[in-house]
Amino acid sequence: MLDIQVLRTDLENVVSLLAKRGHTFPAAEFNSLEAERKTLQTRTQELQARRNAVSRQIGNAKGRGENVTAILAEVDNLADELKQAEAQLEQIQTALQHILLQIPNLPHTSVPEGTSEADNREVRRWGTPRTFEFAVRDHVSIGESMDFLDFPAAVKLSGARFSLMTGGLALLHRALAQFMLNTHTREHGYTEAYVPYLVNSESLRGTGQLPKFKEDLFEIPRQRFISTERLSRNQSYQRGSPGDPLFTPENDNLYLIPTAEVPLTNIVRDRIIALESLPIKFTAHTPCFRSEAGSYGKDTRGLIRQHQFDKVELVQIVHPRQSYEALEELTGHAEKILQKLELPYRVMVLCTADMGFSAAKTYDIEVWLPAQSAYREISSCSNCEAFQARRMQARFRNEKGKPELLHTLNGSGLAVGRTLVAILENFQNADGSLSIPKVLQPYMGGLDRLGPKPGN
C-alpha cells in the first residue's frame, strides 16, 4: 500500500508513475474524498474542543449554584453532532482505504518503461542450450512414455489442470524440493519454515492478493462451532440445520495459499523487529493453489500452468537501505539452483507494465525448454520495498530507536514443477530414457537414469 501522505503531497507524480504501470488512478474521486475528509476532520476537532469547553462550564456553574440544564442540553447536542461527524469521517476514511488497497506499487527508477512483456529487458544469460541429434519430445510425452505421468487419472480425481505423478517422476519431484531446500538453508543462510496452507484474509491483504485478486484464489468456507453453554435452554433447531447455532458461518473464510510468500511474509505482521535481527531470511516448500482465472487457453497441456503445484519460496525481510542489494542476492540464490542443475537460463528485468501488483522491481528467471525452443519463466524475484510492510504494519526499530517500515522481498527458488519440466526436456535421451542431473543423484538413491516403459 502506498503512503497516503505521498498522494496528498505529490499526487501528479504518483498518477504519472501509475500510468506507466497501466493503472489509471481515480484522481477526481480521491480529491473529492480528501476535501470531505479535511472538512469533517476540522468540524470534528471543533466539536471536540467546544464540547470540552462547555463540559468545563458545568462544574463552574454548579459551584456557583447556577442551573446547568441548558449547559447539559448543549453538551448532549454537541455529543450527538460529534458522533455523527465521526461516523461520516470513518466512512470517508474507509473509502480512501479502499482506493489505497486497489493501487499497485510505484516502479523503481531503474525499471524500464513499457506497455507489455515485449518491453522486458534481458540482463544476462547462463549456459548454452543443448543441441539434440534426435527429435525432441515435450515433457508430457516423456513422462507418459515412462508411465510416470497420468493426466487422465488426475482429471478423474479433480478435473483439468491437475496432475498425477508416480514412480520415478514422483521421486524426482521430491528430490528437487529437498535439493532446493538444502541449498538455500545450508549455503544461502535461509531458515526453513513449515507454514499453514490455509490463511485468513488479513494475511492475503497484507501481501497484496486481496482485495484486488480474489478471483485468483481458492476460498474455503469456514465453520465455527459455538459452545453449548451459550445456547438457549429453549433451543428448538434441528442439529446440523442452517439455523442451528452450533453451525454458524465464520465471517472470515480461509483461503488456500497461492504461494508461501503469504504466510512467510506475514510472520512479521503487526510486529516491531529489533534492528540487530535484520535481515530475516525464510524459505519453505509448499503446494500452491491458484484458480488461474482468465488464463484459459494458455499452457493447458502439461505441468506449466496448474491449479496445484509445488514451489520452494524465498522471503527476505530487510532494512530499507539494503533492499536492492538483497534483491540481487535473492535473485542469485534462485539462479544458483539452475546452475547446479546445469539448466540454461536467462534473467529479465520486467518493464513497468509487466510487474506484479506489489513489486517495485522484479527480475524474472526464464529456463530454456527445448520442446518450445524458448525461455520460460521459472522464478520471479521482487523487491516490494515498504508496500507490503505498510499493509501489514511490519516495522523495525531504526538506528534512533524509532519504528520504521521494513522492506520485503520474495522469489521462487524455484517452482518445482517447472524445474521438473526443464529437466525432462533438457536431459532426455534418444532411447527414451532420462538422465538424472548429478547434483540430484544422491537424493534419488544413486539413480543416474530413468528408463521408459517397455514398448515406448
Cβ 56 vs Cβ 68: under 8 Å: no
Task: Tell me if 259 is assigned to a ligand binding site.
Answer: yes
* Distance separating alpha carbons of residues 446 and 438, to the nearest angstrom: 9
User: Of residues 380, 385, 390, 395, which has the active-site annotation?
Assistant: 380
Q: Which amino acid is at 363?
A: Y
- 219 is known to lie in a ligand binding site: no
385 labelled ligand-binding: no
Please name the amino acid found at residue 173.
H
In angstroms, the first-to-last Cα distance of the chain is: 54
Cβ 356 vs Cβ 434: under 8 Å: no
Active site residue 290: yes
Q: Considering 377, 433, 435, 449, which one is annotated as catalytic?
A: 377
Grid cell at residue 264? 512467510
* Active-site annotation holder among 21, 290, 391, 395: 290
DSSP letters spanning 256-305: E-S-THHHHHGGGTT-EE-GGG-SEEEEEEEEEE---TT-TTSS-STTSS
CA–CA gap between residue 335 and residue 186 (Å, rounded): 16
Q: Does the annotation list 90 as a binding residue?
A: no
Do 165 and 143 contact (CB within 8 A), yes or no? yes
**Could you give the CA distance from residue 115 to residue 8 in angstroms, rounded to a whole number?**
27
Does the annotation flag 412 for ligand binding? yes
Q: Is 56 a catalytic residue?
A: no
- Of 21, 385, 418, 425, the catalytic one is 418
Is residue 21 part of the annotated active site? The answer reads no
CA 294 – CA 172 distance, rounded (Å): 31
277 is in an annotated binding site: no
What's the grid cell of residue 361?
522491481
Whether residue 12 is annotated as binding a ligand: the answer is no
Confirm or deny that 376 is annotated as ligand binding.
Answer: no
Q: Which of 125, 174, 305, 376 is catalytic?
A: 305
C-alpha–C-alpha distance, residues 408 and 360, integer Å: 11
Q: How far is CA 270 from CA 171, 200, 256, 266, 393, in A?
A: 40, 15, 22, 9, 5
Q: Is 325 annotated as a binding residue?
A: no
Residue 325 is among the residues annotated as catalytic for this protein: no
Q: What is the C-alpha to C-alpha distance for residues 432 and 434, in angstroms, rounded to an integer?
A: 7
d(CA 281, CA 117): 30
Residue 380 annotated as binding? Answer: yes
Is 379 a known ligand-binding residue? yes
- The Cα 388–Cα 408 span in angstroms is 7
The reply to whether 8 belongs to the active site is no
Catalytic residue list: 290, 305, 377, 380, 418
- Residues contributing to the annotated binding site for ATP: 290-292, 377-380
- Residues contributing to the annotated binding site: 259-261, 290-292, 313, 377-380, 410, 412
- Residues contributing to the annotated binding site for L-serine: 259-261, 290, 313, 410, 412
